[in-house]
Amino acid sequence: QVHLVESGGGLVRPGGSLRLSCAASGFALNKYSIGWFRQAPEKEREGLSCISLSVGSTLYDDSVKGRFTISRDNANDTVYLQMNSLEPEDTAVYYCAAEKWCSLQHWGFSYWGQGTQVTVSS
């Protein structure tokens, strides 16, 4: 079976940091481009970042440029999203997704995880 799993979410104060992880079962993440998305209550799902099959090739939405960093750990076949300077507006369920081609369009991805909750609150 193809299965993606996100982890690392939780509750942080404004200005704090979290690192999210994306892992897979049934296939190798290093054969796919991996995107990070989020969805807040009553809002549409938005694309945040994507890392391609080529090492060092990444995309970022303007809303997270300079604050979030996507990376791969090839030894552990894991993709990370380092999130710094978090604000309440970042509160959402965060998802990772896999597809051959890198984009910030959620409808273009074939495989998804179940999401991990990130809450930024004082």
Q: Measured between alpha carbons, how far is 14 from 64 in angstroms, rounded to an integer?
A: 15
Q: What is the pLDDT along the chain (122 residues), one digit of tens a residue?
A: 678 999 999 999 999 999 999 999 888 999 999 999 999 999 999 999 999 987 669 999 999 999 999 999 989 999 999 999 999 999 999 999 999 999 999 999 999 999 999 999 99
The two tokens of residue 111 are 């495989």
Q: Measured between alpha carbons, how far is 59 from 32 in angstroms, rounded to an integer?
A: 15
Kindly report the backbone phi and psi dihedral angles of residue 120, in degrees, each rounded to the nearest multiple of 5, phi listed first: -115, 110
Are the C-beta atoms of 37 and 90 separated by less than 8 Å?
no
Please report the pLDDT score of residue 55 as a whole number.
64
